[in-house]
Structures are given as C-alpha cells and as structure tokens.
Amino acid sequence: MGVNADAAAPGFPPFSDPQRAWAYLPAEPLEGQLGGPLSGLSFSIKDLYGVPGWPLSASTLAPVPDPGQSVLVQRLLELGASAVGKTHLHEIALGITGMNGYGGTEHPTLPGHSPGGSSSGAAVSVALEQADLALGTDTGGSIRVPAAWCGVVGFKPSKDHSDYSLAGVLPLSPTCDHAGPLARHTATLARVHEALTGHQIEAQSWAGLRVGLWLPEGWTDRPVREAVQAFAARLGGLGASVSPALLPEMLDAYTPIVLSEAAAVHKEALRQTDPGFTPFTLGLLRQGAALTEAEVQAAHARRAEYRALLDDLWNSFDVLLAPAVPTPPPRIGQEDAALEGGPLPLRRAVLRLTAPFSLLGVPALALPTATPFVGLQLMMRHGEDDRLLGLGLSAETPVQAL
C-alpha cells in the first residue's frame, strides 16, 4: 500500500512522498477541536494505531488483528491537534531499519540510507516538516533509533504511563511496547506532554546532577563515541558531574520475550503456510512461536535481574546518558555495523543500546548531537517523565538542518 488515492484531492497533501513514508493520506485531515491547547499542530500516525474509517496494515501484506480505536489519537484530536495521515513502519514494528512489505522507507535527506525503525515514516514526516508531531511506538528503540538517524527528537514515556495509552494500538510485545511522540524540537514534545498530562514542563537545571555515561567500549564507531563524549562534556559545563555507568547487554531477555509475544499477536496469520510477511519477519515470528514456555519464563527471570541492576544504578546516578545508535545511518540493505570493537550484525548493534530501556520501562528521550544524524538518549527513573523532558529542554542542541 502506497499513499492512498484519496490523497490526490486538490491542495492536499502539499508534499510528494519519494521516501515512501506515508501509508495513508485521506482527502482531508482529521481536524482537531478548535481552541484546544494543541490547536495549530498537525500530527502523523504510525500505522499501528486504529483510526475509524482509515485502513490499518502495519506495513505488511499479511493479515493483522484489528486493535480498535486508538485512545491516544482521539485524545490528541480533542486537544486540538489535526491528524494528517498514517505513516509506514518497519513491518509489524519488528525491526530497526524501516523495511516492510511495501518497499520500505528511505532516509529524509540521505538517498539510499535507512531512516531507522520501526517508526520510520514517523521520523521522516517530522524531519521533512510534513507534520509538526508524529505518533510512534517503541518496543526496543523504535522511537529513539529513527529520531537519532533522522536528526529529530523522540520521547518514550515510562511504561504504562496513563496519558500515553496503548489501547487501540496493534501490539508487538505487551511487555515492552510504549506509545510516544517524535518532533523536531523538545519544546513540541513538552507542549504535547503538558496538554496530555496537565503538568507544566519547565527547563531544568543540570547543576549538581549525577550523570551516568553508558558508553560500552567498542559498541559504537568513532563518530558516535566522540559525539556522545562531547555532549557529556557539555553537560559537565552545565554543572553536572559525569562518570561511567555499567550495564550489561540485555538481549538474552529482550529477544525471547518480544519474539514470543509477537508470535502470539500474529498467531492467526502464522497458521498459514505463506501469510504474506517478508521472509525476515516471518523467520523471526516462526522463531518466536518455537520458543518453549520454559525459555520464555527464563527470559522474564533475567529481566527481573536486569531490573534490579538498573534500580541499583539509580542509587548512584540521577540520569543516564548513552548513544541511541551505534553508527550514522546505514545504507539500505546493510547487514553489519562497523564498530570500534569490530563488525557486528546491525540489528544486534542497535538493539543492545536501546532495548534495555524498553525492556525495563523507564522514560527515555532521544536528542540530536552536533554530529549530523547521530543521536543520543537520556534516561531517568520510572515516573520521572516530566523532569526528563525539562532536562531535555535545557540540554537540546540545535536540530541539524535537513
């Protein structure tokens, strides 16, 4: 499914779509209520969110369950924002590059390169100013990775945040799924968060804060390492104390949980010999379906152990700082990442940086760095979403020109 034929109506949309970011564009936007706090803002919707009268494909040719109407989309409309259309994603949200059953999405300004995923079209839509705000989802980095590679900002709230409802969103992994926004500036995210929660977000001082720098040796290439170190030095200049933080790779817990739950979501389609998923996605789903209950329970036990490690880390740090991606945007079809520690499959290289914070449900904010298309992430304790956005307002560097 490319851009829907309804989009051919005169005057809308006012842009073309060579990046294949858009899954559906109606003849007219869904207008938000007049006079709301988000009036004047437009938003795109990742094609996992149910919108009455709009199709939902999850960017796959396979059949998918109907999640019903999205509570979060309806809430944004009630607050005054207008919905432009639906954006493509990495097929069923199970990936980090943006590939799908409709050809995949391309980087907004680097032809032949990946925008990141799974919220690929979401990031492209805001990077190209086709929407002020984009609704995405994040199960293992799916907001933060495309934000980092497209030079925009992305916010993954605390797990089960009452104002970022997953009701009416096609799940991938109920244990790890989060709904959240992307935008060109943190101020837009703060405005949306204020409207949703009723909590005012103000810039927060970094003076006296203990920042844990999670930058495992060899996990990135040199440009990413230097960009994150430069940002850490900037925080030091703002009065924070920065010291190394240690966390292990958590994919041994994350992968079985996500794949087993994704297979359960798509169990009806998997009954077919060839349900229509791309080969890579189908292979991951079959892998998840083959996991035993004991293997999945062991993964949940490891998750509990990792949660205890992170909880202990908060005794030493107020904020964690880490890369959001291991390299600048890869070429489409690239399978390996060239890291300082040696080559590694791209999927693992990316997910081991971002998955821990979805697995454990803490809020995370992706920000650009001074290096084009290299983003970082900031994390705080569960529930400290307001403060994290306030710190983001103080720390954000100028968004790269796209």
Pick one of 3.30.9.10, 1.10.150.120, 3.40.50.720, 3.90.1300.10 as the CATH number of 5-197: 3.90.1300.10
Residue extents of the structural domains in the chain: 5-197
Q: How far apart are CA 141 and CA 96, in angstroms?
A: 8
For residue 213, what pLDDT is reported? 98
Is the preceding peptide bond at 52 cis, omega within 30 degrees of 0? no
Question: Which helix (H) or strand (E) element contains residue 72?
Answer: helix 71-78
Are 327 and 353 in contact by the 8 Å Cβ rule? The answer is no
pLDDT tens digits for the chain (402 residues)? 556 645 444 466 778 899 999 999 999 999 999 999 999 999 999 999 999 999 999 999 999 999 999 999 999 999 999 999 999 999 999 999 999 999 999 999 999 999 999 999 999 999 999 999 999 999 999 999 999 999 999 999 999 999 999 999 999 999 999 999 999 999 999 999 999 999 999 999 999 999 999 999 999 999 999 999 999 999 999 999 999 999 999 999 999 999 999 999 999 999 999 999 999 999 999 999 999 999 999 999 999 999 999 999 999 999 999 999 999 999 999 999 999 999 999 999 999 999 999 999 999 999 999 999 999 999 999 999 999 999 999 998 543 322
User: Cα–Cα distance between 23 and 47 in angstroms, integer?
Assistant: 7
Tell me how far apart the alpha carbons of residues 285 and 292 are, in angstroms, rounded to a whole number: 14
d(Cα 46, Cα 125) in Å, to the nearest integer? Answer: 10
Q: Kindly give, in sequence order, each residue whose CB lies less than 8 Å from that of residue 286, ignoring residues fewer than 6 positions away.
A: 263, 270
